Amino acid sequence: MIEFHPVIKLHRTPFLKDIFNIDSSGNTKDTSLYYQQIIRYFLKDVNVYFKLRVVLNEIINIVPIRTRKDDNIKANDKSDIIEDREKTFRKYFGNLISWGILSARETTIEKGTGSTLEYKITRFGNLIALLIETEVNKNKNSYDSLYSFLESYFNHESYSIDYFCKAYLKRSKEKGIFEIFIDYLRKNVLYHNSFIENENDLFTFMILQRTTDRRLNRKLWKLWFASFNELDSQYQDLLQYHLKLAIDRIIGETVVNISHMKRHYSKVENSFLI
């Protein structure tokens, strides 16, 4: 059986840091709050396209106010606030499209002639939105919705990692540690990872993650080992090969990044020596 995975690019854009950026106090930064609220909005209906203005008007009172630096603008003047924010939203929507979280299509404008864009969340975006939702609404429904999405996802895919993840997460759910596992996934993987660009990347880091809780790590290892043994020998080999490639890629990209940093600091040092 041959497995084909997405093409791996050497240089990656660590966009998760923009979506999940926090300050030194642990609070979500304004830009990340914009991204998260935009992504969450599409959970209203993941099969529907929405216009930018519709999303903006819905979450305008949630995200921080950003107005033009003009003393004549009043803080409660919604028209000025909306027009100013629309430019910011268009920039963020464009980034979300480039990251594979939203897709867009042209549609005619409601009044007059011409066209505009409307947006729909992708499957990867749906996953990110559900992960954000478990942070915003820490309740059973949000975790259950995420688990249902993952279960449905793995049922429709046939890679070795999908078979493994389905068994692994099912066991974590049965043992009552799925919610804790997801909380650590957000903190340990989403907030700090610069190697994730798609579902395949996220699931790979998900099954490789370790937590700061040794007792939980022992439980997870037992579930990991049992899930691995559930696979037939062919899928076991494929999964091991997949993880080997992922680890090799991480090491390779880390070496490249360190090399770039060394060259950068070398230039800085030389500039002081001139």
Output 56-62 pairs: Cβ under 8 A, ≥24 positions apart.
56/82, 56/85, 56/86, 56/89, 57/82, 60/85, 62/33, 62/37
Residue 11 lies in a domain: no
Average pLDDT over residues 191-208: 84
Q: Are residues 44 and 93 in the same domain?
A: yes
- pLDDT above 70 covers what percent of the chain? 78
Higher pLDDT, 239 or 61: 239
Q: Are residues 101 and 147 in the same domain?
A: no
pTM: 0.80
Beta pairing partners, 22: 28
Average pLDDT over residues 182-199: 82
The C-alpha atoms of residue 177 and residue 163 are separated, in whole angstroms, by: 20
- Tell me which of 57-66, 158-167, 216-225 is least confident: 57-66
Average pLDDT over residues 56-65: 85
Structural domains in the chain (count) = 2
pLDDT band at 27 (very low <50, low <70, confident <90, very high): confident
Residue 183 lies in a domain: yes
Q: In this model, does residue 235 exceed pLDDT 50?
A: yes
- In the chain, the amino acid numbered 262 is K
**Quick one: pLDDT at residue 176?**
95
Note down the domain range covering 36: 16-121
Q: Which CATH number covers residue 54?
A: 1.10.10
- Tell me which of 10-19, 31-40, 117-126, 134-143 is least confident: 10-19
Q: Are residues 74 and 165 in the same domain?
A: no
Q: Are residues 88 and 176 in the same domain?
A: no
pLDDT for 91-129, tens place per residue?
Answer: 999 999 999 999 999 988 777 677 889 999 999 999 999
**Quick one: pLDDT at residue 239?**
94
Structure tokens at 52: 């930018």
**Quick one: pLDDT at residue 55?**
94
Q: In this model, does residue 273 exceed pLDDT 50?
A: no
Higher pLDDT, 125 or 251: 125
For all residues of the chain together, what is the average pLDDT? 82
**Quick one: pLDDT at residue 3?**
41
Residue 258 lies in a domain: no
Residue 226 lies in a domain: yes
- pLDDT above 90 covers what percent of the chain? 51
Average pLDDT over residues 182-208: 85
**Quick one: pLDDT at residue 76?**
53
| Nearest CA among 118, 91, 89, 90 for reference residue 106 | 118
Residue 131 lies in a domain: no
Q: In this model, does residue 242 exceed pLDDT 80?
A: yes
Give Cβ neighbours of residue 188 (< 8 Å, ≥ 6 apart): 209, 210, 211
